[in-house]
A and B are shown apart, each in its own frame.
Chain A
Amino acid sequence: MKGLSLLSISRDFVGVHAVAGVSLSVDPGEVLGVIGPNGSGKTTLVNLASGAVAPSAGKVVVDGVDLTGASSTRFASAGVVRSYQGLRLFEGLSVLDNVMVGVQRGVRPSLIGAWTRPPGFRRRERRLRVAAMDWLGELGMTGFAAHPVGALSHGQRRRVELARAFAADPAYLILDEPGAGVDPHQLEGMTGIIRERCGAGVGVLVVEHDHGWVERVCDRVLGVADGVVVAEGSFAVVAAHPALAPHLRATAP
Chain B
Amino acid sequence: MSGSGIGTLRTSRPWRAALSLRWGGPARSVGSLAILLVLAVLPVWIGGRHGYGLGTTAVIAVITALGLQVVFGLSGQLSVAQAPLQGVGAYAVAQLMVTHGWSFWAALLPAVGVAAAFGVFVGLPGMRVRGDVLALATLGAGEILQSLFLNTERFTGGYQGIAAVPGVSMFGTVLDDRGLYAVALGLGLIVLAGAMALKASPLGRAWMALRDDEVAARAYGIHPGRLRLLAFAVGSGMAGAAGGVYAVQNGFVSSVSFGLNQTVIVILVVLIAGEAHMGRTVVAAVAITAVLDRLSAYGDISEAVTGVVILMVVASRLGLVSAGLVRLRTMLRIPAPPLPAPGEVAP
- Could you tell me which A residues sit within 8 Å of B by CB distance? 50-52, 71-73, 75-77, 81-82, 84, 88-93, 97, 100-102, 104-107, 109-111, 113-115, 117, 125, 128, 139-144, 146, 153, 156, 164, 168, 185-186, 189
Contact = CB atoms under 8 A, between A and B. Distances in A.
Given A52-B219, A77-B221, A92-B208, A186 B1 contact: yes
A117 B5 contact: no
B6 A109 contact: no
CB-based closest 8 A-B pairs: A140-B2, A114-B201, A143-B6, A76-B221, A109-B203, A90-B212, A88-B216, A189-B1
Contacts of A51: 219
Contacts of A115: 194, 197-198
A109 B205 CA distance: 9
B219 A81 contact: yes
B317 interface: no
B219 A72 contact: yes
A128 B206 CA distance: 14
A194 to B, nearest CB: 14
B204 interface: yes
Interface size class of B (residues with CB under 8 A): 35 or more
Nearest to A147: B9
A109 B194 CA distance: 15
Interface of B: 1-3, 5-6, 9, 20, 24, 194, 197-198, 201-206, 208-209, 211-213, 215-223, 227, 230, 234, 275-276
Contact of A71 (B5, B198, B205, B218): B218
B11 to A, nearest CB: 12
A104 B219 contact: no
B208 A97 contact: yes
Given A111-B203, A113-B203, 6 more contacts: A77-B221, A88-B215, A89-B212, A104-B202, A109-B222, A143-B6
B219 A114 contact: no
B37 to A, nearest CB: 24
Contacts of B5: 140, 143-144, 153, 156
A140 B213 contact: no
Given A101-B209, A115-B197, A140-B3, A110 B203 contact: yes
Contacts of A106: 221
B223 to A, nearest CB: 6
B219 A90 contact: no
B213 A90 contact: yes
B209 A93 contact: yes
**Which applies to chain B's interface (DSSP): helix, strand, loop or mixed?**
helix
Contact of A81 (B1, B215, B220): B220
Contacts of B6: 142-144
B303 to A, nearest CB: 32
A73 B212 contact: no
B113 to A, nearest CB: 14
A111 B203 CA distance: 7
Contacts of B216: 84, 88-90
A156 B2 CA distance: 10
A248 to B, nearest CB: 27
A101 B206 contact: yes
Given A101-B220, A107-B202, A88 B1 contact: no
A117 B203 contact: no
- Kindly name the residue among A93, A97, A101, A146 whose own CB sees the greatest number of chain B CB atoms within 10 A: A101
A73 B204 CA distance: 18
Contacts of B209: 90, 93, 101
A72 B194 contact: no
- Kindly name the residue among B5, B20, B194, B220 whose own CB sees the greatest number of chain A CB atoms within 10 A: B220
Contact of B203 (A92, A114, A128, A186): A114
Nearest to A113: B201
Contacts of B217: 90, 101
Nearest to A185: B1
Contacts of B222: 73, 101, 109
Given A92-B212, A109-B202, A114-B202, A73 B221 contact: yes
Contact of A140 (B1, B194, B234, B275): B1
A128 B201 CA distance: 11
B198 A114 contact: yes
Contact of A168 (B202, B206, B220, B230): B220
Contacts of B20: 146
B198 to A, nearest CB: 5
Contacts of B194: 115
Contacts of A189: 1
A233 B215 CA distance: 33
B181 to A, nearest CB: 25
Contact of B201 (A109, A142, A168): A109
A84 B218 CA distance: 13
A75 B223 CA distance: 12
B202 A110 contact: yes
